[in-house]
Amino acid sequence: MPSSSMNKNETNEQKQSLLKNDDKQNKTDTGANIILIGAPGSGKGTQSTRLVERYQICQISTGDLLRQATQDKTSLEGEKIRRVMETGGLVDDETVMSLIDKSINKPECRNGFLFDGFPRTIYQGEQLEQLLESRQKRLDAVLEYAIEDDHLKRRILGRLIHKSSGRTYHEEFNPPKQPMKDDITGEKLERRSDDTNETLSARLTTYHKQTKPLIDFYRQRNIHRSIDATQSVNDVSKQSIEIVDYLRKQTTYKPSTSAIRQTETDDTLTIKSKSIINQRDVDTSHLSNNFLFIYNAVISVLRDRGII
């Protein structure tokens, strides 16, 4: 056999073996810290199930945790939370942060976590940064499921849930095998009490006013990516995984709360860097957001290579 052909065969075998290794690596390559941001019905819960399985991490859904807290009908606190949820507002930050604080320490979160519907305000985002910093953890990816409000009514009004497991169905897009019954347990499916026309409008208003500003907050930190959430469930999952896999490997600049102070002045976002470069104090307050993005990326590369 000519040597060139031998080499070709060897190369092919090597390629096959590399592919197999890649496959193996993908199966064992777990762990990630992810945030899902999106309007009501954008698919956060649906995608969470798939992402936690892929990365072997825990799901922390503040919506689910708060719904559990409303189960005790005798608790005043539960009643207060239920009222807020049914009017489409946000539950107070103190209650939410205490739920997060407890959840993040669970053994199933050892490999990483996925926040579904948290944070929902800039304040919660800042609190989370502090919490992660104190645990020496960092976020890998913030996925925004982008979808126009008009698409959401059909999704929300057709949703069916299995309360004890959190499994979600849709009358039209993802029907259960038997009408109104959970596929696994055969138990009765229900509708969420906030899945009404009226509450949906209030939830959307809250999302646009209080949660959307977080997109810029995470864009500044180089970990935000937007995904078209009108695609099929499978396509959204595929893109989510591609993005998380990519971002997990990046060493781009991800500032901590001590490195960055953010203030809004006359609608202009002013960022004052305090300790991007340890040796020097650089004032970047006069830089535009686009320039600041490039500046941070350059600093990050220089720092990773030990140049500064």
Strand spans (E) along the chain: 32-38, 58-61, 112-116, 141-146, 159-161, 168-170, 224-228, 260-265, 268-273
Contact segment (CB under 6 A) with ligand AP5 among 13-21, 80-88, 130-138, 293-301 equals 80-88
Say if residues 269 and 216 touch (Cβ distance below 8 Å). Answer: yes
Residue 40 contact partner, candidates Mg ion, ligand AP5, none, CB within 5 to 8 A by sort of partner: ligand AP5
Of the residues 43, 45, 88, 125, which one makes contact with Mg ion according to CB under 5 A: 45
In the range 80-139, which residues lie near Mg ion by CB under 5 A?
A: none
Check binding of 120 to ligand AP5 (CB under 6 A).
yes
CB of 65 to ligand AP5, least distance (A): 8
Residue 174 contact partner, candidates ligand AP5, Mg ion, none, CB within 5 to 8 A by sort of partner: ligand AP5
Of 175 and 269, the one with the shorter C-beta distance to ligand AP5 is 175
Report which DSSP code applies to 116: E
The number of residues that bind Mg ion (CB under 5 A) is 2
Say if residues 198 and 117 touch (Cβ distance below 8 Å). Answer: no
CB of 223 to Mg ion, least distance (A): 21
Beta strand 141-146 with 32-38 is: parallel
Residue 243 contact partner, candidates ligand AP5, Mg ion, none, CB within 5 to 8 A by sort of partner: none
Q: Which residues contact 253 (CB under 8 A, 6 or more apart)?
A: 221, 222, 276, 296, 297, 299, 300, 303
Of the residues 66, 128, 223, 260, which one makes contact with ligand AP5 according to CB under 6 A: 66
Assign residue 289 a region (left: φ > 0; alpha: ψ between -120 and 50; beta: otherwise): alpha
In the residue annotation, 120 being an active-site residue is answered as yes
For the chain, the maximum distance between any two Cα atoms, rounded to a whole number of angstroms, is: 83
Of 162 and 170, the one with the shorter C-beta distance to ligand AP5 is 170
Residue span 26-55 as binding mask against ligand AP5, x where in contact by CB under 6 A, dash where not? ------------x-xxxxxxx---------
- Residue 182 CA, distance from chain mean position: 26
Using CB under 5 A, list all residues that contact Mg ion.
Answer: 44-45
